[in-house]
Amino acid sequence: MRPVNLRINSGAIGIGALIIFIAMILVAGITASVIIQTMNQMQNRAMETGRETIRDISAGIEVRQVSGYVVDGKIDQLAIYIAPIAGSESIDLSYTVIKISNGRKEVFLSYDDDMFSDGITNGLFQTLNSSNLTSSTYGIIVIRDSDDSCSARYPVIDDGDLVVLMVNTTECFSGISPRTEVRGSVVPEFGVSGIISFVTPPALIDQIVELQP
């Protein structure tokens, strides 16, 4: 009877080893599947991060010029000329913010789609009714837009376009006085921001003054 018991024990040990082996294969398979899935997720995230980085570096706004309109010895309006930087993707101005400070107060302005013109009429500073602009809004005047991409509802600018952002500085700062340092930026949804930086002249005599560059 003792040899029979040995055969039974050996068979039980063999079945146990087989079960352990199969379990190890299943665990290894599950582990490999998890690792492959994690690697795929990491690869997708890396590719997405790379695309976002390239977009942030290659896209953006350039401030070409800033002009001011003088009323009673102070700058009442600013006209900020902007264009996409060379090679930039399209920029949606409805998601673009102007940040500007006179050294004592900083304001953030967003686009008001009721304040839009597809061209200059009756002079740059008379094209839009600036009294409708507030301390938190700016308007848009299109100077050049060959493909008609920039409209009141969808103000998108792309390569070759030039537009002016109009700001009511009387609403923002009660006007900008002489010898005032003004700093700010035009911040797009993604990409490089356009820089605003100038000091107003010692005396504001002419009605229209060039402030930057």
Task: Report whether 173 contacts 200 (CB < 8 A).
Answer: no
pLDDT digits (tens, 9 = 90+) for 102-161: 999 999 999 999 999 999 998 999 999 999 999 999 999 999 998 999 999 999 999 899
The two tokens of residue 140 are 């848009």
Instruction: Note the pLDDT of residue 7.
Output: 56
The answer to whether the Cα torsion of 146, 149, 155, 156 is positive or negative is negative
List the alpha helices (DSSP H) in 91-184.
124-127, 169-173
pLDDT digits (tens, 9 = 90+) for 22-43: 778 777 777 777 777 777 777 6
Q: In 3-state terms, what secondary structure has residue 121?
A: coil
